[in-house]
């Protein structure tokens, strides 16, 4: 047998050596190929789903007229629909009751985004009658009960979820507070106990892996953005995602708000760049989506208004600029955590807000230029707050488990999505780099008092009303669009809707 095999091999070798080519007929098995492609597709789908597992995305509507971002949720069985303002500066989800909405003396416009009828829900449970009490620095507030019911947002369903039910309120739209549960209304004004608010409840019920979420508001002109619970979306930002620490309140040593170290402010225009803060500057600042505008220290506002040609109108309680400033290519640049931290550039188009009178007119200067509101105002006695006029330009990851914030320049109008979930409870922020040699700050203000306008009752705005730019390189570049030495027409004869509306853009905070 061995000789026969050897002979056959010799014959084959001789044949191959003598032939100029050897051809083999290959027959493609299409069924096998289809099966291979299907297996490959399933593998890719599993990898994609594994990356997205443990996340919930909820669309946010830019309700520009109301000065807020709203998410759609349902509560109860059968579901009752609501639009609620998303607020990183408070911690309770609450909605108005049908009884509260019927009191027209308190709510002139009723409750346009939904009212809860507790008797219509078979899963409703009142767990704290009279315990819910939340007040805001602009004088608005809500009182009522704590209750539990089924709540749905995006693809998530939370059962026996605790919320506030406003049986009396001066605010017609519910608020979805997603801050630290140490800042819940019940802690200060109720029985002092904390409960699992939305981020914690999502973890406890297995919806997300870690108490964290990402906020992408998109640009001022966009109609929608989103909040992503349990993960990040790498397609929604540009450049590097850099993490910085969240700091506690000095008095309590507890983390109650998203307070970060703001370490620099500069202005850049076609004529140069000016750093408006000292080299050793470090100021605690609260990131708060429930505030329409941004509140900065008065002395910094004086310099910034000099750059932009802005002026304070005390009668309106607003900082006004020519609307043409929105076309300027300059930026206001915010740095955090020191030299190794993130820097966010805010374009003029994101800072200039429209003003409209109650009769639908657009105010003008005496030279014919239209008047707009600047989305930055002096804080007076309030803490420094970075509201929507800053947050639109930043992609922000809020990590409540590790007391971290990650920031990157937002990718406006991003069409794609690449979601990466937090791997486990307490896992670090995906794709983020920790800021090196970070500067620390201490928040001495108690709580998160926030309003949409410049100041609240009893506060002072000490910034210069009509500053004159001196020694500022960037000022001339900004003022190519600015109105020089002109005054608005008779403001006393008009009521500006946008100013009163921005005061509606409160998130929540207890007094």
Rounded Cα–Cα distance for residues 275 and 270 (Å): 15
**Contact by Cβ (8 Å): 373, 503:** no
Beta bridge pairs of residue 263: none
Question: Which of 87, 92, 131, 274 is an active site residue?
Answer: 87
* Terminal alpha carbon distance of the chain: 100
Beta bridge pairs of residue 318: 313
Query: DSSP per residue over 173-191, as a string?
Result: S-EEE-S-GGG-HHHHHSS
CA neighbor of 134 nearest in space, from 85, 170, 103: 170
**Contact by Cβ (8 Å): 246, 440:** no
Computed over its alpha carbons, how large is the radius of gyration of the chain?
Answer: 28
Active-site annotation holds for 288: yes
Rounded Cα–Cα distance for residues 109 and 172 (Å): 7
Who contacts 337 (Cβ-Cβ below 8 Å, separation ≥6)?
242, 244, 245, 260, 261, 263, 435, 438, 439
Question: Which of 131, 149, 233, 288 is an active site residue?
Answer: 288
**Contact by Cβ (8 Å): 371, 488:** yes
**Which residues carry out catalysis?**
87, 288
């Amino acid at each position: 047998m061995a000789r026969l095999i050897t002979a056959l091999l010799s014959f084959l070798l001789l044949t191959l050596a003598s032939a100029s080519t050897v051809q083999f007929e290959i027959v493609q098995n299409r069924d096998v190929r289809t099966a291979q492609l299907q297996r490959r597709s399933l593998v890719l789908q599993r990898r994609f789903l594994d990356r997205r597992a443990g996340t919930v995305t909820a669309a946010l509507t830019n309700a520009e007229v109301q000065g807020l971002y709203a998410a759609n949720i349902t509560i109860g069985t059968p579901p009752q629909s609501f639009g609620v303002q998303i607020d990183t500066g408070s911690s309770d989800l609450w909605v108005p009751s049908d009884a509260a909405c019927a009191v027209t003396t308190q709510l002139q416009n009723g409750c346009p985004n939904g009212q809860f009828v507790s008797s219509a829900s078979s899963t409703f449970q009142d767990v704290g009658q009279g315990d819910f009490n939340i007040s805001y620095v602009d004088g608005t507030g809500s009182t009522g009960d704590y209750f539990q019911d089924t709540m749905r947002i995006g693809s998530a369903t939370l059962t026996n979820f605790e919320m506030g039910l406003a049986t009396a309120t001066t605010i017609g739209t519910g608020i979805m507070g997603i801050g630290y549960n140490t800042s819940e209304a019940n802690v200060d004004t109720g029985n002092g106990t904390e409960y699992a608010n939305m981020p914690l409840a999502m973890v406890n019920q297995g919806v997300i892996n870690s108490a964290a979420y990402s906020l992408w508001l998109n640009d001022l002109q966009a109609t929608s953005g989103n909040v992503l619970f349990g993960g990040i979306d790498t397609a929604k930002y540009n450049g590097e995602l850099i993490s910085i620490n969240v700091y506690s309140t000095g008095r309590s040593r507890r983390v109650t708000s998203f307070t970060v170290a703001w370490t620099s402010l500069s202005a850049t225009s076609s004529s140069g760049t000016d750093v408006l803060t000292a080299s050793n500057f470090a100021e605690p600042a609260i990131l708060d989506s429930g505030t329409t505008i941004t509140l900065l220290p008065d002395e910094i506002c004086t310099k910034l208004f000099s750059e932009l040609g802005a002026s304070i109108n005390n009668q309106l309680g607003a900082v006004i600029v020519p609307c043409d400033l929105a076309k300027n290519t300059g930026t206001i640049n915010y740095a955090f955590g020191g030299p190794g931290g993130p820097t966010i550039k805010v374009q003029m188009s994101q800072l200039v807000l429209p003003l409209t009178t109650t009769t639908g007119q657009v105010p003008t200067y005496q030279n014919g230029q239209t008047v707009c509101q600047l989305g930055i105002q002096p804080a007076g006695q309030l803490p420094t707050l970075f509201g929507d006029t800053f947050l639109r330009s930043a992609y922000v990851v809020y990590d409540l488990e590790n007391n971290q914030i990650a920031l990157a320049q937002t990718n406006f109008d991003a069409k794609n999505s690449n979601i990466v979930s937090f791997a486990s409870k307490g896992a670090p922020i995906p794709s983020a780099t920790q800021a090196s040699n970070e500067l620390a700050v201490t928040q001495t203000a108690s709580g998160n008092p926030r309003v949409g306008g410049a100041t609240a009752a009893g506060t002072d705005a000490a910034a210069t009303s009509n500053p004159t730019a001196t020694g500022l390189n960037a000022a001339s570049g900004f003022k190519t669009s600015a109105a020089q030495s002109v005054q608005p027409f008779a403001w006393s004869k008009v009521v500006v809707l946008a100013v009163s509306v921005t005061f509606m853009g409160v998130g929540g905070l207890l007094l």
